[in-house]
Amino acid sequence: MVDWIILAVIGLVSASLAVQWLLPRRRHRGDNFGLSSPSSLFNAVFLFDGDRLISHSDIALEGFDDLRDWPDLRRLLQRDFPSFPETPERIRHEGNMVIPAIDCTVERDVLCEWIDGIVRVQLRDSGGCTSIAHRDSNDPIRLAMERAPYPVWLLDRQSNVRWCNAAYIALVRKVRGQDTDLTAPLFPGLEDDAKPSGKSRVSISTEGSDSKLWFDLTLSDHPEGHLCYAVDINAIVDAETAQRKFVQTMTKTFAQLSIGLAIFDRNRQLALFNPALIDLTALPPDFLSCRPSLSSFFDRLRDQHMMPEPKNYRGWRSQMNDLLEAAEDGNYQETWSLPSGSVYSVSGRPHPDGAVAFLFEDITAEITLTRRFRSEMDLMQSILDKLADAIAVFGADGTLAFTNYAYQELWGETDDSGFEPDSILDVTRGWQDQCLATPVLGEIRDFVAMRENRSEWSADLRLRNGTRLICTLCPMQNGATIVRFSPDADAMISQDIHQISA
């Protein structure tokens, strides 16, 4: 009986010594381990037999007196250590575990050990820890993740943040404030919107501000959930917004133009057009809004008879390639006479970044006016050619504008004009070669150059062959001058009588 009592005492003493060995030997009062609440859990040790708390260090829990089992401790640590095991069984299967804090900028962790059926949980400062299970703070992999300039975080299957780097923490505190729960995802619903193999553009709003922060998010599968990466694209979004506003401004400006505009980008797809293009080409707006290619655009024009009908399709295709090359060089300029009777002036111009712009201008009225003017000029020339008198018309600048057939027969000149029109000085010199000396030619030159106080007058000229002419000068309102040469009737009658008498 005494032996059994002695053995019981020895067992009790051994158990007490084991508990004292498992618990820390020094108290560190005044240290604050809690990352989000002012608790005194730093360097605290808890001993569990299964889920039941059997002992803990003598550090005061300060408000956590209700901690009785493993679920209580997990609720206490879940916000700052979301990867803390749900049950002690995981520690029994995996052995020793080190659970890092979600905030990687804080060098504290939780060490869980399996010791002869007892689970020892120690909340410690990982900065001075030499445990083999803890990763070295100078590990390149850890440094690369924690010091990455872009937010990186791990989502579990319940869409809670299990781990994040310093950039993610800085972003969360910038958006939600300093005292925030890091386990709550910053981008809710990310798994539903994200593409399995690509990027998803999302935005978040900061508290108390209407401004948005834009990111390109990428998700990668992970055994525990998803590993997420975010890239700041605010500069890209701002540039796209500025470009969109610029395009809208240009579109409003182009909308006022009567010239049809079609701009094709470097991929030869329609990037911009104005309403005048729809009016001129009769192409449907929905077709143009679908950004057709250059070949499809001109194919549609050909189908709707909005461009000259080619002799053969193959030759027309080759012509389209020549058209594109000419437009890229800025040399394409053609006048299209359409079957409807309209006339378009089409030009191609190169644009920056490999784009090409085509301009469509309706010049039907201009061409009609030009044709009518040319017809009237031809009619007037025909009338002048029927007159017996030689006619020469000088413009206000003193250059010869046109003559009639009788004039060309009289002076031996043609109506073919060179690049430089003949002046009154050049013309009178030609007359002088065929006339007897007379001051009338100088007076004619002076009269054509005059602008005021002009009235009609006549003078006699005599050619070297003896023919007498009456030169009549008639001023016009626009400064032009008509010079008419007619034979002297009296001289012709006298000459006829003399010939009869002889």
On whether the CB atoms of residues 229 and 153 are closer than 8 A, the answer is no
> C-alpha distances in angstroms, 420 versus 233, 394, 398?
64, 14, 13
φ, ψ for residue 313 (rounded to 5)? -65, -40
The one-character DSSP state at 353 is G
Q: What is the pTM (predicted TM-score) of this model?
A: 0.48
On whether the CB atoms of residues 81 and 102 are closer than 8 A, the answer is yes
pLDDT on residue 286: 92
Give one DSSP letter per residue of 345-408, joined into a string: EEEEEE-GGG-EEEEEEE-HHHHHHHHHHHHHHHHHHHHHHH-SSEEEEE-TTSBEEEE-HHHH
Write down the number of H helices and E strands in the chain.
16, 20
pLDDT less than 70: residues of the chain: 1-42, 58-65, 105, 126-139, 141-142, 189-198, 310-317, 319-320, 323, 414-419, 489-502
The one-character DSSP state at 411 is H
pLDDT on residue 25: 39
Euclidean distance between CA atoms 168 and 174, whole angstroms? 10
Q: Is 178 left (phi over 0), alpha (psi -120 to 50) or beta?
A: alpha
From the candidate CATH numbers 1.20.1290.10, 3.30.450.20, 3.40.50.12780, 3.30.1060.10, the one assigned to the domain spanning 371-499: 3.30.450.20
Q: Is 370 exposed, middle or buried (0-12, 13-18, 19+ CB in 10 A)?
A: exposed
pLDDT on residue 204: 87
pLDDT on residue 225: 83
Q: Which residues pair with 475 in a beta bridge?
A: 481
Euclidean distance between CA atoms 76 and 102, whole angstroms? 14
Nearest Cα residue to 481 out of 437, 427, 431, 439: 427
On whether the CB atoms of residues 102 and 162 are closer than 8 A, the answer is yes
Euclidean distance between CA atoms 59 and 42, whole angstroms? 9
Residue 367's contacts (CB-CB under 8 Å, 6 or more residues apart) are 335, 343
pLDDT on residue 475: 93
Euclidean distance between CA atoms 297 and 306, whole angstroms? 11
Q: Mean pLDDT in the chain?
A: 79
pLDDT on residue 389: 92
Q: Which two tokens stand for residue 446?
A: 């002076």
pLDDT on residue 60: 45
Euclidean distance between CA atoms 221 and 295, whole angstroms? 44
Say if domain 239-362 classifies as CATH 3.30.450.20.
yes
pLDDT on residue 61: 55
Q: Which two tokens stand for residue 30?
A: 């005044």
pLDDT on residue 492: 55
Helix H or strand E encompassing 392: strand 390-394
